[in-house]
Amino acid sequence: MTVTAAQRWARLQDGRGIPPEILAQAERTPWRHDVDRFVAPEIAEDTASRAAALGLLGAGGTVLDVGCGGGAAALALAGAATHVTGVDRQPDMLEAFAATAARRGAPHRTVLGSWPDAAAAAGRADVVVCHHVLHNVVDLPPFLEALTAAAGRGVVVEMFTQHPMAWLDPLWLRFHDLRRPPSATSADAVAVLAELGITATATEWERRPSIRQDVAWITRQLCLPAGRAGEVEAALAETPARPTTVATLTW
């Protein structure tokens, strides 16, 4: 039986889930993101993703940021963007997005919800951006189709070439005796797009590596109690650094 690209993506993503018995041990959910990790920088980094979105905007246009967090993707386009809409499932992320947009004088609105459920409320924009969200999605075709339908000129997706947490797989084995399956990749996402009849341009580039390891955050991601942060820090010293290869997908 032939496995489609969408089925392969879903199987690999399902395999990245956390077993219920491990999740039940967590002091805090690993699925909720801390706002301070997603604050939009004051000076936007010149990346392939920003260049692609600016190219689509040209002299100006509206932007829809799906999974906006604090607004790093959309607010990096300030000046060219005449209006930005942020969609996120966390109210505190939307508050940070709105506060930064207001401080920078960017016309904006926010939509609370998960994509693609929030697509109708979000409406359409000239350019749709979606940074580091795809690896949180299992059923990818509806997600991608909704991004495409919302975009007047084009879509820019940014993602790591492999699951951003795959580098922690040795620690899952060390602390939970859990062997993690291979990660879905950006190439798998391109293959799903191709099945939908969408030809995406993929550009790979290197992100500046983070100097600081947030041990407390990684401890939480591993569903370990805060009291084991010292053990996690020691294990990290023996673990290869997180990957920095990023893919920008444009269509």
CA distance to 11, 42, 73, 244, per residue, from 188 (Å): 11, 33, 23, 18
| Chain segment 85-119, per-residue pLDDT in tens | 999 999 999 999 999 999 999 999 999 999 999 99
Q: Which CATH superfamily is domain 5-23+35-168+179-213+244-250 in?
A: Vaccinia Virus protein VP39 (3.40.50.150)
Residue type (1 letter), 178: L
pLDDT surpasses 90 at 71? yes
CA distance to 57, 201, 216, 219, per residue, from 232 (Å): 44, 38, 9, 6
Rounded mean pLDDT, 219-228: 94
Residues 6+ apart with CB under 8 A from 21: none
DSSP secondary structure letters along 74-134: HHTTBTTEEEEEEEES-HHHHHHHHHHHHHTT--EEEEES-TTTTHHHH--EEEEEEES-G
| Chain segment 140-174, per-residue pLDDT in tens | 999 999 999 999 999 999 999 999 889 999 999 99
Confidence class for position 212, pLDDT limits 50, 70, 90: low
| Amino acid 3: pLDDT | 93
